[in-house]
Amino acid sequence: MTADSKDSSISFYELEQAYKIAARIVAVFGDAYLPSFQRLHEEVQKRNKQQSLKSIALDIANKSRAFDN
């Protein structure tokens, strides 16, 4: 199993919770934990971008159906 497939099994809610916890850990314990926070931050951004692109694709698909008739 690749890292990407493991990431997919984590819900966005769980990811957000881990992201918030990691931010608090950085605030309390310092920069040593920034790499972990960075990884979570990148994953949150990636998932948000994927969701946005999916929404755009669905909008385009729905609009193009109107012209098929």
Residue 2 pLDDT level (bands cut at 50, 70, 90)? very low
Identity of the residue numbered 40: L
Output 69 or 32, whichever has higher pLDDT. 32
Q: How many residues does the chain have?
A: 69
CB neighbours of 15 closer than 8 A, spacing ≥ 6? 40, 43, 44, 47
Identity of the residue numbered 62: N
Over range 6-27, report the average pLDDT: 91
**Spatial distance between the Cα atoms of 34 and 22, rounded to a whole number of angstroms:** 8
Q: What is the pLDDT of residues 27-67, one digit of tens each?
A: 999 999 999 999 999 999 999 999 999 999 999 999 988 77
pLDDT averaged over every residue in the chain:
89
- Other beta carbons within 10 angstroms of residue 55's beta carbon come to 10
* pLDDT for res 69: 60
CB neighbours of 35 closer than 8 A, spacing ≥ 6? none
